[in-house]
A and B are shown apart, each in its own frame.
Chain A
Amino acid sequence: MASVRLDGVEKVYPNGHVAARGLDIDVADGEFMVLVGPSGCGKSTALRMIAGLETPTAGRVLIGDRDVTALPPQERDIAMVFQSYALYPHMTVRENLAFGLRMRGAARPAIAERVEAVARPLGLDAVLDRKPGQLSGGQRQRVALGRAMVRDPKVFLFDEPLSNLDAKLRVETRAELARLHRRLRATIVYVTHDQEEALTLGSRVTVMRDGVVEQVGPPMEVYRRPASVFVAGFVGSPAMNFLQGDLVAVFGGDAQRGPVTLGIRPHDLVLTPADNADLIARVDVVEPRGSELLVHLRLGADGQGQEIRVVAPPEPMPPVDSVVGLHADRQRLHWFDTTTGKRIE
Chain B
Amino acid sequence: MSRARWGTVAIVLLVLGSGFPLYWAIVSSFTPEARLYGTPSLIPRVLVLDHYRALFTQREFWVPIRNSLIVAGSTTGFCVLVGGLCAYALARLRFRGKAPLLGLILAVSVFPQISVVSPLYLLLRRLHLINTYPGLILPYLTFAMPLTVWLLVGFFRQLPAELEEAAMVDGASRLRTIREIVWPLAIPGLAATAILTFVYSWNEFLFALSFTLGPERQTVPVAIALFRGQYQVPWGQILAAAVVATAPVALLVLAFQRRIVQGLTAGAVKG
Residues in A lying within 8 Å of B, measured CB to CB: 51-53, 72-74, 76, 78-80, 82-84, 86, 88-90, 99-100, 103-104, 147, 151
Contacts and interface: CB of A to CB of B under 8 A. Distances in A.
Question: Which 6 pairs of residues, A with B, have the shortest CB-CB distance?
Answer: A103-B171, A100-B170, A86-B166, A86-B162, A73-B168, A90-B184
Given A88-B181, A89-B185, A103 B172 contact: yes
Contacts of A90: 184-185
Contacts of A88: 163, 166-167, 181
Contacts of B169: 51-53, 73-74, 76, 78-80
A72 B172 CA distance: 11
Nearest to B96: A14
Majority SS of interface residues in chain A? loop
B162 A74 contact: no
Contact of B171 (A51, A89, A104): A104
B176 interface: yes
Interface of B: 160, 162-163, 165-173, 176, 180-181, 184-185
18 contacts: A51-B169, A53-B168, A73-B169, A74-B168, A74-B169, A74-B171, A74-B173, A76-B169, A80-B165, A80-B169, A84-B160, A86-B160, A86-B165, A90-B185, A99-B172, A103-B167, A104-B171, A147-B166
Contacts of B180: 99
A132 B162 CA distance: 15
Contact of B166 (A76, A82, A151): A82
Nearest to B168: A73
B97 to A, nearest CB: 12
A147 B170 CA distance: 9
A74 B176 CA distance: 11
B180 to A, nearest CB: 8
Nearest to B183: A90
Nearest to A53: B165
B176 A103 contact: yes
A99 B181 CA distance: 11
A276 B167 CA distance: 66
A100 to B, nearest CB: 4
